[in-house]
Structure formats: C-alpha cells, structure tokens
Homo-oligomer: A and B are copies of this chain.
C-alpha cells in the first residue's frame, strides 16, 4: 500500500518541499499567544517547525500514529530550538484529548490519505472550542501542468493518483476543500489557491520543487505502479524523463496547493457524525 512520507529519499523530498513552499503555505498562518493549537498528523515535523516557529506564543500539540515519524519530528523541533511543541503518539480516530479543548487546529497533507476526510474534519471540530478555526493545506495532483506538455508524463502522474486512490486516499483533494468544510459543518470557509509557478528565473524552485518535490514523488511509485500493472516500465520512465524535461532552462512547471480556513460554529447542533 502506498503512503508517501517514509524512506530515505522521501525524507530529503519532504525537506525540499517544506523549504521550497514554506512561505507559500505558512506565510499567512499565525496563531495568537496563549492559544492551544492541535497539529493533526505531524509526520516527521516538516511543517511543525514552521508552525511553531511562526507562532512562538502558541502551544502546539502535535500527534502522529507513526512512532518513527514522531521521533524525527521531536528531533527536528529540538534542533530548531523550539520549546512550544508537545508531541503525542496517537491515531486520529482514537485521540486522548477532551472535547472543545483546542483554540485552533492545523491539518496539513493529511486529508489526502483518508478514506473519509469529512469524518476527520468533524472529529477535529469536536476538539475545537466554539469559534475556533481549522486550517487545512492540501495539494492537488490534477493541478499539475508544465511546458513542454507531455501526455505520457501525465500518465505517470496518474499512476501516483491511482495508487493513492487504491490506498483509500485522494491525491486531487485540494480543489474539494470548500465543499468538504461545508459538509463537515464548519462556518465561513475561505479557500485560497497557492500556486507554485516555476521557471528558470527561480533555480531554487526548479531544483527544490519541480525535481525534488514533485518529480521525485511520482518517481517513488515506479515499483508499485509496475507491480500493479497500471503502466509499463517504458511509458513510466518516459513520463519521468518528461517531468525532468520541464526543469530544463526553457521549461515551466505549475502546481497548486490549497489553503482552507473555517470556523467551528458558536451555536451548533454539533457535528452530523
């Protein structure tokens, strides 16, 4: 079963991603001093460092179900000299927190892996105080396009999307944040696209995003895609070559993340669970 987030190159990939899109994702995400913020599924802490660093007066409570990831996250946060993060080993569907015990929640690159993201958003809502907010970041692989255009590169990307679908997730979830937040019972959802546009004028994004974030992510499913016979090796490899081609000096690459913010209603009939 494919879940990205584990492995050696994958760690470097997540670092490259965090570095190349950190401003895009975190630039306008701040939580007030004294607030208690839940980070859902912190993984290896790639986002936790930005989250905690940008809101030094907030207390972050970060959890993940993987002890290995959590260990990395703890190291990383310590190395950054951040003291405002508490880590908890737990699963989203069995959290040891009291209802209405958080001011805000932060959910980054998590919903894409869940078979019922709306149920997850409703769970998070129960943990929020009335008037508290949820902040979500998700990508959308259907938003990727590039120059030169390549059908076979899109077929390689589709392998990743298909494998994530078979694992119960949705790699094209970004565009759905608005209706999901509405369906989960939140008020006033506000969704904004965050485009990563990469041309030769930003070589650090060519390397950090086009190559090491996106193309590596697709490349990582090669073995699984071939084993599942979703694609043949020659086609997959040609697709990957065309993705690297978009990182050449006359190439262009575009990808869109989505940020959604919404409020737990102050007077709610609580979740429709």
| Residues of chain A in range 177-225 having any CB-CB distance to chain B below 8 Å | 178-179, 182-183, 189-193, 195, 197, 199-201
Residues of B contacting A200 in the complex (Cβ-Cβ under 8 angstroms):
178, 182
A197 in contact with B201 (CB, 8 Å): no
Residues of B contacting A140 in the complex (Cβ-Cβ under 8 angstroms):
145
Judged by a CB distance under 8 angstroms, whether A256 is at the interface is: yes
Judged by a CB distance under 8 angstroms, whether A147 is at the interface is: yes
* Bound: A14/B183 CA distance, A: 34
* Given A193-B254, A254-B143, A199 and B172 contact (CB-CB distance below 8 Å): no
Among B176, B182, B193, the residue within 8 A (CB) of A147 is B176
Judged by a CB distance under 8 angstroms, whether A146 is at the interface is: yes
Judged by a CB distance under 8 angstroms, whether A252 is at the interface is: yes
Copies of the polypeptide in the assembly: 2
Q: List the B residue with the shortest CB-CB distance to A173.
A: B147
A192 in contact with B201 (CB, 8 Å): no
Among B172, B183, B195, the residue within 8 A (CB) of A195 is B195
A197 in contact with B192 (CB, 8 Å): yes
Query: How many residues belonging to A are interface residues under a CB distance threshold of 8 Å?
Result: 29
* Given A145-B142, A147-B176, A175-B145, A195 and B256 contact (CB-CB distance below 8 Å): yes
Residues of B contacting A199 in the complex (Cβ-Cβ under 8 angstroms):
178-179, 191
B252 in contact with A175 (CB, 8 Å): yes
Judged by a CB distance under 8 angstroms, whether A89 is at the interface is: no
Residues of B contacting A190 in the complex (Cβ-Cβ under 8 angstroms):
201
* Bound: A256/B175 CA distance, A: 14
Residues of B contacting A179 in the complex (Cβ-Cβ under 8 angstroms):
147, 199, 250-252
List 19 extra interface pairs beyond A140-B145, A146-B175, A191-B199, CB under 8 A.
A143-B145, A147-B175, A149-B172, A176-B252, A178-B200, A178-B201, A178-B252, A179-B199, A179-B250, A179-B251, A182-B200, A190-B201, A191-B197, A191-B201, A193-B195, A193-B197, A195-B195, A195-B256, A254-B256
When A and B form their complex, which 9 residue pairs have the shortest distance between CB atoms, in order from nearest? A178-B199, A179-B250, A193-B197, A147-B175, A193-B195, A175-B252, A142-B145, A147-B176, A195-B195
- Partner-B contacts on A (CB < 8 A): 140, 142-143, 145-147, 149, 172, 175-176, 178-179, 182-183, 189-193, 195, 197, 199-201, 250-252, 254, 256
